[in-house]
Chain A
């Protein structure tokens, strides 16, 4: 099967006043259709930068990113983003209008088609009763669920999620993770998920790409993550293994 997303030897560098920082160096990976692919690593490993490059906000200085054989050159609605920040909903639109807006603008649907699609998506994240509310009246978890509904309603090739649950409280985060998995069971969309939490990566992903920091480089790829289970302790063991993998590297680096 041909992969959906190909990231091939991508080096990302960005300018800050006075110097150029290398965020990632020669990172390669592929995502297949229906994957829940997680980019995992400590802060400074360039995982968010990498996701933004897939989103088309950054041009690789080396390498190529392509989705369904189209080279990514700019942001577009075939790669819907879900951000960590709660202000990603347009505050001047109701929940419903927030979801219909990209459907009408980017996909050119008529108002009634967009409305039907949006209502179905909002219903899937259980926010039907908040449909006509403005974002500022919603809780953080509800806002993130609207953002997910907005992304899913667009039926993108891939859903890009940049630590979407990191700013939530622990209880809400768990509910949101469960909900995301349930939605995936229903529609089997492809998702590229960035997190710095090992437990979240194991819970969400079926494949994990482990990145090491300064600059971000691929350290390992973990497959069949969905085979481990929290009940028999295998998830806990994997978490411990990943933890060791991530932190032996840092210790060596510090020893130098």
Chain B
């Protein structure tokens, strides 16, 4: 037992790990595979297929009065954009929408700030959202017409109603779910009152607030188009809903389709472009949502 290594309690046995690798460490995928992995590409393919089916069905039916083909609809879209009707109508709708949305969001913010500061305010908010969020805003239109008359006043009123409750509800639940640790950190910095709300609570609750804003937008947009179908009588001043209604009465069905398509496109742009960009620049970047 002269070998000192034989008494060592543990031994290290080296293995050869320098042999050439059998599998490459990283392998590039083919172009087609990578394209198909992109959700945007897959959805574009679906849209193209749908347009083709639409076109084919329209041609077989051959009844432009009831069901125009995709190309006829696109032609109507181009013509209405060229003569300025569609942009003007779309702008009329969006203008009213922004007004209602803005007022609704500001009211929701004030209500929620009141709610987090007092228990009674919190009860008030919960009762009000509980009562009014199941009520479709459009159901208030007849009443609004009596109160505010035919015009933007009535539209703004029901838009505020459709935005206020979902935004307030989500903001409030967002505020309440801000972690105790973050609250303590904020107070440790000596933040109080509005600076505490704006510098800690709002950014911390931003995922919920953004969800509220998205839901509010979706409600408002649908409500607005529906409401416009009912009136818009100050001729030429109406929005997209009125454009659809008007053209149906004139049996300009391609225009009706063009109007519907515009409603869809604006909805998609706001939901998938604007809100998606805000999400990417905030909650996704902060790792608050994946």
Footprint of B on A, CB under 8 Å?
Answer: 52, 55, 57, 74-77, 79-81, 83, 85, 87-88, 90-92, 101-102, 105-106, 134-137
Q: Which residues of B contact A79 (CB under 8 A)?
A: 188
Chain A at the B interface: SS class: mixed
- Residues on the B chain within 8 Å of A106, using CB: 189-190
- In the complex, the answer to whether B287 meets A134 with C-beta atoms within 8 Å is yes
> Is B179 a contact partner of A81 (Cβ separation < 8 A)?
no
CB distance from A79 to the nearest CB of B (A): 8
Q: Known: A91-B286, A91-B287, A135-B287. Contact between A83 and B190, CB under 8 A?
A: no
CB distance from A115 to the nearest CB of B (A): 17
Contact of A77 (CB < 8 Å), options: B190, B199, B200, B206: B190
> Would A75 and B181 count as touching, CB distance under 8 A?
no
- A176 vs B211: C-alpha distance in the bound complex, in angstroms? 39
Q: Return the 5 tightest CB-CB contacts between A and B, nearest first.
A: A136-B287, A75-B187, A85-B181, A92-B203, A102-B189
CB contacts (< 8 Å) of B182 on chain A: these are 87-88, 90
Contact B189 A92 (CB under 8 A): no
- Interface code B242-272, partner A: CB below 8 Å = 1, 0 otherwise? 0000000000000000000000000000000
Q: What separation, in Å, do the CA atoms of A137 and B285 have in the docked complex?
A: 10
Please indicate the chain B residues that have their CB under 8 angstroms from the CB of A136 in the complex.
286-288
A87 adjacent to B179 (CB under 8 Å) = yes
Chain B 180-227 interface residues, beta-carbon cutoff 8 Å to A:
181-182, 184-185, 187-191, 195, 199-200, 203-204, 206
> Which B residues are in CB contact (< 8 Å) with A134?
285-287
Contact (Cβ within 8 A) A105 B191: yes
B190 adjacent to A137 (CB under 8 Å)? no
A88 touches B287 (CB 8 A): no
- Tell me if B85 is interfacial: C-beta within 8 Å of chain A: no
Query: Which of B185, B190, B200 counts the most A-chain CB atoms under 10 A from its CB?
Result: B185
Q: List 10 A-B contacts (CB under 8 A).
A: A52-B184, A75-B187, A85-B179, A87-B182, A88-B181, A101-B189, A105-B189, A106-B189, A136-B286, A136-B287
| Chain A contacts for B179, CB-based, 8 A | 85, 87
Pair B203/A90 contact, Cβ less than 8 Å:
yes
Query: Shortest beta-carbon distance, B8 to chain A, in Å?
Result: 23
| Pair A137/B287 contact, Cβ less than 8 Å | yes
For residue A74, which residues in chain B have a CB less than 8 angstroms away from its CB? Answer: 187
Cross-interface CB contact of B184 among A75, A92, A102, A137, cutoff 8 Å: A75
Our pick among A87, A91, A105, A135 for the contact of B199 (Cβ within 8 Å) is A105
Q: When chains A and B are docked, how far (Å) is the Cα of A115 from the Cα of B62?
A: 71
Say whether B129 faces chain A, with CB atoms less than 8 Å apart: no
CB distance from A22 to the nearest CB of B (A): 21
Q: Which residue of A lies closest to B182 (CB)?
A: A87
Nearest CB of chain A from residue B119's CB, rounded to whole Å: 15
In the assembly, what is the distance between CA of A105 and CA of B181, in Å? Answer: 19
Least CB distance, A140 to chain B, in whole angstroms: 14
Query: In the complex, are the beta carbons of B287 and A76 less than 8 A apart?
Result: no
- Whether A91 contacts B288 in the complex (CB less than 8 A), given A76-B190, A85-B179, comes out as yes
> Does B122 reach chain A (CB closer than 8 Å)?
no
A90 to B190, CA, bound (A): 15
Q: Is the CB of A55 within 8 A of B188?
A: yes
A91 to B205, CA, bound (A): 11
CA distance A85 to B185 in the complex (A): 11
Instruction: Point out the residues of chain A lying under 8 angstroms from B181, CB to CB.
Output: 83, 85, 87-88
B133 lies within 8 A of chain A by Cβ: no
Q: Does B282 contact A (CB under 8 A)?
A: yes
**Whole-angstrom distance between the Cβ of A165 and the nearest chain B Cβ:** 16
Q: Min CB distance, A145 to chain B, in Å? A: 16
With both chains docked as a complex, state the minimum distance between the C-beta of B32 and any C-beta of chain A, in angstroms: 32
B206, A57: Cβ atoms closer than 8 Å: no
Question: Is B185 touching A81 in the complex (CB atoms < 8 A)?
Answer: yes
Closest beta carbon of chain B to A152's beta carbon, Å: 14
Kindly provide the distance from the CB of B183 to the nearest chain A CB, expressed in whole angstroms: 10
Q: Does B184 lie within 8 Å of A57, measured CB to CB?
A: yes
Flag if B288 contacts A77 (CB, 8 Å).
no
Closest to A105 in B: B189
In the bound assembly, the distance between CA atoms of A117 and B117 in angstroms comes to 35
